């Protein structure tokens, strides 16, 4: 008795094998979505990192999607000849290799080439894994399973969006667009633990200097703690909590692990113990901190809730003025509106 492929699949039903396929193909689908969506988040940083116009930076998207077209057409036909499994393994490997090469690119032309090849790889995976999944599903449940597979695209999209949001909150996006990085200005304002990140985005060596004093000779610089570690009045064990807080900022072994990640240690002996493991840029920030002791203004009261977001908003909007994309009155009005909204909800 002869039966069709669909009849055989219907008799076999679905089980562990199909769930494994769904997991594998779903991860590939999510990774493809991340590559596609990342284009929209990455181009501003690309423009700043390589010193190109924003329109030019958008070419990473153009070539990526062109690569997807080539990959989908080419690998789709190849898969029909040599088998989908071989093509899927090849395109996934290409996606990983060329995607990693994109991260390490130090030349814009090379980056464009890598994004095109990544697009070819992504374009090759999309029709292949979808078709492979469909080929192992009974007709009755095929549509439902393929919809679940497509749901992994949303998973990849959410992961990229959350990653971009985290990077933005951490200041990564803002650092890549500061004037000293883009070459639009000779100086900028930075926290000590941002020096390493900025230096990594530029070739010129960074220097540090104090703000000038006012006409009344009031120092223009202050030393501000990177974080305030507080003890609540209802603490169960105040003595243990106080010991921990003290160790967090004064213990040499603990601070050697933390390094300068959360700021420069206030204790001179701790700074001296860290000196051998500091990079050139980190050593520069510590040397600056040592030299300004006794030359700064008193620290003012803590800023109101939402002040950090207001500051970030100002810096972000100021870039548009520096790049002559918007006028000062226009940006000032926009800043006041956003700042008021931030403080109102804080």
128: nearest Cα among 80, 60, 191, 197: 80
Distance CA 39, CA 33 (A): 10
CA angle 39, 40, 46 (to 5 degrees): 65
**Greatest pairwise CA separation for the chain in angstroms:** 102
- Name 75's Cβ contacts closer than 8 Å, sequence gap at least 6: 87, 90, 91, 120, 123, 124, 125, 127, 128
Output 79 or 190, whichever has higher pLDDT: 79
C-alpha–C-alpha distance, residues 306 and 346, integer Å = 5
Please tell me the predicted confidence (pLDDT) of residue 114.
93
Q: Tens digits of per-residue pLDDT, 95-129? A: 999 988 988 887 888 999 999 999 999 999 988 88
Across 164-189, average pLDDT: 72
What's the rounded mean pLDDT across residues 44-49? 72
Closest CA to 264 of 247, 282, 281, 252: 282
State pTM to two decimals.
0.53
- Is 173's pLDDT higher than 60? no
Q: Do residues 110 and 46 touch, judged by C-beta distance below 8 A? A: no
Cα(170)–Cα(191) distance, integer angstroms: 12
Helices 59-82 and 108-135 sit at what angle, rounded to 10 degrees? 40
User: Where do the H-state alpha helices sit in the chain?
Assistant: 5-12, 16-50, 54-57, 59-82, 84-103, 108-135, 139-169, 172-176, 179-182, 195-200, 238-250, 252-258, 268-274, 280-291, 307-322, 328-345
Q: What percent of the chain has pLDDT over 70?
A: 93
Quick one: tokens of 166? 């985290």
Query: CB of 111 within 8 A of CB of 50?
Result: yes
pLDDT score for 69: 93
pLDDT band of residue 335 (cuts 50, 70, 90) is: very high
Q: Which pLDDT value is given to residue 121?
A: 93
pLDDT above 90 for 90: yes
Residue 183 backbone dihedrals phi, psi, to 5 degrees: 85, 10
- Please tell me the predicted confidence (pLDDT) of residue 174: 65
């Amino acid at each position: 008795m002869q039966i069709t492929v669909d009849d055989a699949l219907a008799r076999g039903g679905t089980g562990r094998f199909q769930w494994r396929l769904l997991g594998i193909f779903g991860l590939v689908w999510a990774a493809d979505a991340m590559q596609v969506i990342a284009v929209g988040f990455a181009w501003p940083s690309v423009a700043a990192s390589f010193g190109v116009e924003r329109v030019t930076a958008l070419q990473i998207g153009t070539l990526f999607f062109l690569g997807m077209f080539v990959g989908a057409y080419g690998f789709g036909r190849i898969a029909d000849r040599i088998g989908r499994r071989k093509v899927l393994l090849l395109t996934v490997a290409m996606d990983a290799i060329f995607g990693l090469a994109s991260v390490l690119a130090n030349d814009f032309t090379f980056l464009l080439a890598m994004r095109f090849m990544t697009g070819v790889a992504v374009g090759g995976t999309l029709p292949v894994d979808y078709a492979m999944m469909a080929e192992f599903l009974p007709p009755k449940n095929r549509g439902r399973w393929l919809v679940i597979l497509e749901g992994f695209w949303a998973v990849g999209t959410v992961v990229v969006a959350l990653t971009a949001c985290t990077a933005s909150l951490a200041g990564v996006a803002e650092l890549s667009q500061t004037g000293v990085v883009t070459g639009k200005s000779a100086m900028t304002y930075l926290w000590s633990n941002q020096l390493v990140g900025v230096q990594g985005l530029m070739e010129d060596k960074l220097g540090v200097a104090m703000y000038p004093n006012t006409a009344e000779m009031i120092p223009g610089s202050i030393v501000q703690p990177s974080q305030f570690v507080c003890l609540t009045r209802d603490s169960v064990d105040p003595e243990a909590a106080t010991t921990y807080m003290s160790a967090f900022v004064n213990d040499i072994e603990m601070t050697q692990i933390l390094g300068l990640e959360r700021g420069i240690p206030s204790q001179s002996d701790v700074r001296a113990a860290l000196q051998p493991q500091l990079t050139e840029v980190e050593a520069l920030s510590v040397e600056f901190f040592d030299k300004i002791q006794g030359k700064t203004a008193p620290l003012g009261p803590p800023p109101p809730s939402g002040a950090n977001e207001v500051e970030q908003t100002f810096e972000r909007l100021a870039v548009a003025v520096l790049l002559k994309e918007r006028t000062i009155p226009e940006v000032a009005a926009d800043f006041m509106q956003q700042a008021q909204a931030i403080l109102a909800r804080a």
